[in-house]
Amino acid sequence: MKFTLRVQANRQAVHFIDNVMENYTNIYSIPFSKELRFVLHELVINAIEAMEKIDSPSPDGKIQIQILHNDEEIKLTVIDEAQGITENDIKKALQFDPNVHNYTDRGRGLFFVKNMVDSIWFKHLSSTKFLVGVSKKIHG
């Protein structure tokens, strides 16, 4: 199964994607469904927040979500048009120290995502398009 969604980069998209993913994981009896829904939720929020921060937003202001599921694994990708993040910022996000109190709930999403999936990757697709992907083995 493979499907792609293009949604407006706004808060309503988060709820829409949450509902789609909940229905999808229930219909197909996907293992780790709660974790995978959390992962996609966090990736969509990050993409939307990145789109909100750029000076000249994309003309259509959309993000793309792709779900690819086979008998062995599920892959989730999110593409935004907010130019991505630097290698240094990626490293910082993935090495978040939960024992350091910074009095904010910000900055923990990618750390938790990394620990809930088997693989996470980042790719600059163009000067504006940035992809974040994750995969999780579901059988085998």
Residue 103 pLDDT more than 50? no
In what helix (H) or strand (E) does residue 25 lie, and over which residues does it extend? helix 11-27
Are 132 and 78 spatial neighbours (Cβ–Cβ below 8 Å)? yes
111 against 21, higher pLDDT: 21
Classify residue 74 by burial, with Cβ atoms within 10 Å: 0-12, 13-18, 19+: buried
Residue 131 pLDDT more than 80? yes
Query: Long-range pairs for 104-109 at CB < 8 Å and ≥24 separation?
Result: 109/42, 109/45, 109/46
Closest CA to 91 of 120, 134, 131: 120
pLDDT in tens, 66-99: 999 999 999 999 999 987 776 776 666 667 665 6
Mean per-residue pLDDT, 4-18: 95
pLDDT at site 66: 98
How far apart, in whole angstroms, are the C-alpha atoms of residue 39 and residue 44?
9
